[in-house]
Amino acid sequence: MSIVGENLRLMENVLGRMTTPRAAGMGAALGAWFGLPSSLMVLLVTGPWAALLAGMAFGALLGAAFGVTACWAARGRGDLLTNQSLVAARYAVVADVAIADDARNLLIKHGWRTG
């Protein structure tokens, strides 16, 4: 059984503008996530927990710097935060002949199709 979407279109919802503080925050969060695995490897070798925090802080600082640089480089062209989704105008359920009746009954049972 398959669900097929027809007449697909890309919907893009604008969430807001990319500001310098927002870019720095998003870059810092991403940098901290990249700093976490490397600092965990250092932690396994050296032992002190300070290495974990230092690695995450260093990653956050580098991520914030890269985020601000990217924001300044893209200033004026595409500096909007958006959320994209693929939407179909109509959906069709395609099923093998052997299970078509069961699929139809399920659709009727859940109120997705009448009759």
What's this model's pTM, rounded to 2 decimal places? 0.52
Model confidence pLDDT, tens digit, residues 90-109: 888 788 888 888 888 888 88
Highest mean pLDDT among 20-29, 49-58, 77-86 belongs to 20-29
For the stretch 34-39, contacts whose Cβ atoms lie closer than 8 Å and that sit 24 or more positions apart, written own/partner, are 34/59, 34/63, 35/59, 35/60, 35/62, 35/63
Model confidence pLDDT, tens digit, residues 64-86: 988 888 877 777 666 777 889 99
